[in-house]
Chains A and B, each alone.
Chain A
């Protein structure tokens, strides 16, 4: 009886998730497969919806920072900074140079941590037994330790304040940062050697989930996924903020548009981030304080009612459209990179094999908390 059922039902409809080992959270994919080939796929999201945008409308400006950090738990500081920068822009507050440098350094360290995690997840999703995952997480942990020295916590920092940060960098930070960067710049070629010399890894990623240049624009995907499709766009370069203008780095672009290109862009961006941190540490003014205003901002009246703040987060470009009231946001729209990147998954998976869904998920490197908001 059983055997009959399965033979007749072609294509078979499979629910991947919401509870599944490799959907990076609570994502549900309804997949129609014929044999091993994907006929059709639909992504269901929203299991993790907290209504962050509504919450922000009911919080004082600085009360919202912890909420913002929980959006992307692999790059919490980047989101925190995005929000604080939006508020600063609304109030028309200029940063001191020292604060700008410190923020740049911390953000790039956060990017390094996030990209390292993404490489581990990719290997995990394509079926390696946690080895690359553990290795990259060990390296990520060292970055987190450095961030802990700078901010006081390992993961959810909440160390951005209007006009700067909670505290200055601790003494000795530069030396330990340089030491870590030296270590990482030795590790990254090791990862590349380990993964790219592995024919099975290459086979699982090359030519999987190809998105052409025009299609990438049409789908509106961002970040390493967009740059993996050959579009050279990076907010850090195209609309420079903080001290990125003064620093020497390149936008990393790959033209293949497949899963491997996305992985490779992240690898290359790791190197660029290391360069950026090195240079920023060198150019940072030795004296001056990076400390911002105290947390209770009653402050000046709102200068700009409506502001758009864009930042290049590790997972792509995020934007806050802030309509400011004196005490709290009237409306804060968060354009999250993961949301739009995930919306392309249906396009990417068309005609691929069942096993490729998971390499594509790993290549997209999304965080479901950010998708669902």
Chain B
């Protein structure tokens, strides 16, 4: 299901009320022209799945946090901001998920060369 970034919070909380109370994962795919964020939600009782797709602009993308709805989103959001450089609004993540990493580059974006050495500034 494609939705807009501004709808995300309303949509997720509405779905949570409708029984989609299990967050499977949050991730993103870099399509170079856009970055697509993905929210996998699941209704455990009815055994239904739903994927929320949000198209973001590749420069300084940002998303609102859903941690108040799903505690399980905590590490996923941190992973997302670290791996894709997507800023999560409304969260003051004190530190990154992975150790020994300055977090300035976004490794899972296509612009990040997988075989070139990267000097972390920390």
A: residues with CB less than 8 A from B are 28, 44-47, 49, 51, 53-55, 57-58, 215, 217-221, 231, 233, 238-239, 308, 317, 319, 321, 323, 330-331, 333, 335, 339-340, 343-344, 347, 372
Contact = CB atoms under 8 A, between A and B. Distances in A.
A233 B44 contact: yes
Contacts of A51: 107, 114
Interface of B: 21-25, 27, 29-30, 38, 40, 44, 47, 49, 51, 70-76, 95-101, 107-108, 112, 114-115
Contacts, number: 84
Given A46-B97, A53-B108, A343-B72, A335 B44 contact: no
B97 A45 contact: yes
21 contacts: A44-B95, A44-B99, A45-B98, A46-B97, A46-B99, A46-B100, A46-B101, A54-B107, A54-B112, A54-B114, A57-B114, A58-B114, A220-B23, A239-B47, A317-B24, A319-B40, A323-B29, A331-B30, A331-B108, A335-B40, A343-B74
B107 A331 contact: no
Contacts of B44: 217, 231, 233
B35 to A, nearest CB: 11
Contact of B25 (A219, A238, A335): A335
B21 to A, nearest CB: 5
A372 to B, nearest CB: 7
Nearest to A331: B29
Contacts of A58: 114-115
A47 B99 contact: yes
Contact of B114 (A55, A217, A231, A340): A55
Contact of B22 (A49, A217, A321): A217
B103 to A, nearest CB: 11
The 8 closest A-B pairs by CB, nearest first: A220-B72, A46-B98, A335-B25, A343-B75, A333-B27, A46-B99, A331-B29, A219-B72
A316 to B, nearest CB: 11
Contact of A218 (B21, B30, B47, B112): B21
A344 B96 CA distance: 17
Nearest to B99: A46
A152 B70 CA distance: 44
A95 to B, nearest CB: 22
A47 B97 CA distance: 10
A238 B47 contact: yes
Contacts of B29: 321, 323, 330-331, 333
A57 B30 CA distance: 12
B98 A308 contact: no
A239 B47 CA distance: 8
A239 B107 CA distance: 33
Given A54-B114, A217-B44, A340-B75, 18 more contacts: A45-B98, A45-B99, A46-B97, A47-B99, A51-B114, A218-B70, A220-B22, A220-B70, A220-B71, A220-B72, A231-B44, A308-B40, A308-B49, A317-B24, A321-B29, A335-B40, A340-B72, A372-B98
A272 to B, nearest CB: 20
Nearest to A218: B71
A219 B71 contact: yes
A49 B108 contact: no
Given A220-B24, A238-B47, A321 B38 contact: yes
Contacts of B95: 44
Contact of B99 (A28, A53, A219, A238): A28
Nearest to A221: B72
Contacts of A308: 40, 49, 51
Contacts of A219: 71-72
Contact of A347 (B21, B51, B71): B71
Nearest to A46: B98
Nearest to A343: B75
Query: Taking each of B51, B95, B97, which has the highest tally of chain A beta carbons within 10 Å of its own beta carbon?
Result: B97
Nearest to A215: B71
Contacts of B73: 220
Nearest to B79: A339
Contacts of A217: 21-22, 44
Query: Taking each of A217, A221, A330, which has the highest tally of chain B beta carbons within 10 Å of its own beta carbon?
Result: A217
Contacts of B107: 51, 54
B24 A335 contact: yes
Contacts of A218: 21, 70-72
B120 to A, nearest CB: 12
